[in-house]
Amino acid sequence: MRKIFLILLILSGSLCADEELILVPDQTIALWPDRPLLENPRYFARRKKGLTYLIRERSPSLELYQTTRGTLPAPAVIICPGGGYANLAYDLEGTEIANWLNEQGFTALVLRYTVPQKGDTAFEDVQRAMGLVRHHAAELNIQPDNIGIIGFSAGGHLAARLSTNWGQRTYQAIDDADSADNRPDFTALIYPAYMSPKDKVKLAPEIRVTGQTPPTFLVQTLDDENITSSQAYYRALKDSRVDTEIRLYQKGGHGYGMRPSAYKVSGWPEVYKKWLTRVVE
């Protein structure tokens, strides 16, 4: 079982009153050679209502959590936490998802993309991340043809943007990883945001669905103000004859992750598990 260490959360360089048990990754991979990881990285974090938010990320990275279930190499999923591109919901939509995926036999990689920043910078991060993972799949004990992505809220927008704009990078290539295929093999969007105007079922211009968009799993609740994001994306996927499944629940709001609640939406991980079994070769 993975070791859990006590990490002191640091807010703007000073210790927080709260302390939190955080999973320690098996490996942390810097995305960009000119933005290396700090030797003693500080977790700029804020605790709020039982959640840990990373409020500053200037050294974007992938935190790898290797599964101990099944055989290696394993299929893998890159996780994009939400946070409105202003912060990262690090535990709720990051490490907790990684732990669940590990239990299902998937190696998980939490993407700590640049925040706070405009979405275009984060999009460069996710493009680079997928290329790195596929290029180094053998040494990471990952199946190169079974690398998916899952995103929550703003992270859902980020995952959808990669899933519909893979191929040519929006940054200048820096090494062989930038020549690797960065199309996700399968995609999950959990209460995605920013993909459609809240009053129209119409996709944002940066989301360009085609017949080559990866198989996709969608979850949203009808009382989520971002409901049109999933509706518009699902319609576009169906129109393009992409393998897709959507689960709409009556109540649950936004930002529930995989934590239990009084609502039926808490059952979505089991549905996602069955979907993964079907789409992962």
Taken in order of first residue, the domains within the chain and their CATH numbers are: 61-279 (3.40.50.1820)
| Cβ-contact 157, 93 below 8 angstroms | no
Kindly state the DSSP code that residue 215 receives in the 8-state scheme: P
Integer CA distances (angstroms), 135 to 73, 178, 206, 214, 247, in order: 14, 9, 26, 19, 33
Q: What is the pLDDT of residue 39?
A: 59
Q: What is the pLDDT of residue 143?
A: 98
Amino acid occupying residue 126: V
Measured N-to-C along each axis, helices 154-164 and 119-135 cross at an angle, to the nearest 10 degrees, of 60
CA dihedral for 64, 70, 75, 78, sign (positive or negative)? negative
Q: What is the bridge-based pairing of β-strands 187-190 and 216-221?
A: parallel
Structure token digits, residue 94:
């990051």
CA distance 25 to 82: 19
Q: What is the pLDDT of residue 18?
A: 41
Q: What is the pLDDT of residue 22?
A: 58
Pick out the chain residues at pLDDT < 50: 1-21
